[in-house]
Amino acid sequence: MSKVISLSNHKGGVGKTTSTVNISVGLSRMLHKRVLVIDMDPQANLTQSLGVEGNPQHNIYGALTGSYALHPIIIEENLHIIPATLDLSGAEVELSAETGREFILRELIDPLRNQYDYILIDTPPSLGLLTVNALTASDHIYIPLQAQYLALQGLTKLLEVVERIRKRLNRHLSLGGVFITQYDQRKVLNREIAQTIREAFQR
């Protein structure tokens, strides 16, 4: 049974996509895990980063809108992807009146859960329906944070959404952790903010 993990933070440019690429390649190549990544961001940076070109016939948009099941594309032996295409940007509006709209991704993933050790979901820089679908389908959320001024601003909002999803949509969702990206230990501000983040999340 796979672990489903969302990398999520509604702030853009914090390293969601880069971390999804690096973690998925690490898990598959170095730890020989079977990994599926799902690109839930209409910007399709994950899809492009992993070398999927053109307009893949089967993509996350078509699956979310009910045209077909998930058809993973093989990047390499243990690393598969459900790519995104630009038309995903219309999905939030198109699905907004659908009954059970928060559960669409979870239902799509269900038949694949035995085929992978890890399913990693890269999310868009928003807290809209695509992110809600990702979190409703996930066992864990990991939050990338930059060690920059105001890094923690907006995080309260994200944690509130996580809490609401846990209450209403997915009681299995847990905060796997936060991690710092783009860290430069030579910078005083980076070190100070990293310390603040550590203190805020120490268990």
Ligand X SMILES: Nc1ncnc2c1ncn2[C@@H]1O[C@H](COP(=O)(O)OP(=O)(O)O)[C@@H](O)[C@H]1O
Residue nearest to Mg ion (CB): 17
Identify each DSSP E strand in the chain by its residue range.
Answer: 3-7, 35-39, 73-76, 79-82, 118-122, 140-146, 174-181
14 vs 91 by CB, closer to ligand X:
14
Rounded to the nearest whole angstrom, what is the least distance from the CB of residue 4 to ligand X in the complex? Answer: 18
Distance CA 46, CA 66 (A): 22
> 7 - beta bridge partners?
122, 142
With contacts defined by CB under 5 A, name the span among 11-19, 55-63, 79-87, 137-145 that binds Mg ion.
11-19
Q: Does 182 bind ligand X (CB under 6 A)?
A: yes
Q: Does 17 bind Mg ion (CB under 5 A)?
A: yes
With contacts defined by CB under 5 A, name the span among 21-29, 41-49, 90-98, 148-156 that binds Mg ion.
41-49
Q: Does 131 bind Mg ion (CB under 5 A)?
A: no
The Cβ of residue 112 has, within 10 Å, a number of other Cβ atoms equal to 18
Map tokens 């839930």 to a residue: 40
2 vs 20 by CB, closer to ligand X:
20
Q: Does 12 bind ligand X (CB under 6 A)?
A: yes
> 6 - beta bridge partners?
121, 141
CB hemisphere CA count around 55 (13 angstroms): 5
Rounded to the nearest whole angstrom, what is the least distance from the CB of residue 158 to Mg ion in the complex? Answer: 15
Q: Does 109 bind ligand X (CB under 6 A)?
A: no
Q: Does 120 bind ligand X (CB under 6 A)?
A: no
Distance CA 81, CA 188 (A): 39
Backbone torsions φ then ψ of 179, nearest 5 degrees: -140, 150
- Binding partner at 128 among Mg ion, ligand X, none, C-beta below 5 to 8 Å by kind: none
- Binding partner at 176 among Mg ion, ligand X, none, C-beta below 5 to 8 Å by kind: none
Q: Are 3 and 119 in contact (CB under 8 A)?
A: yes
Residues that bind Mg ion (CB under 5 A): 16-17, 45
Applying CB under 6 A, the residues found at the interface with ligand X are 12-18, 45, 125, 181-182
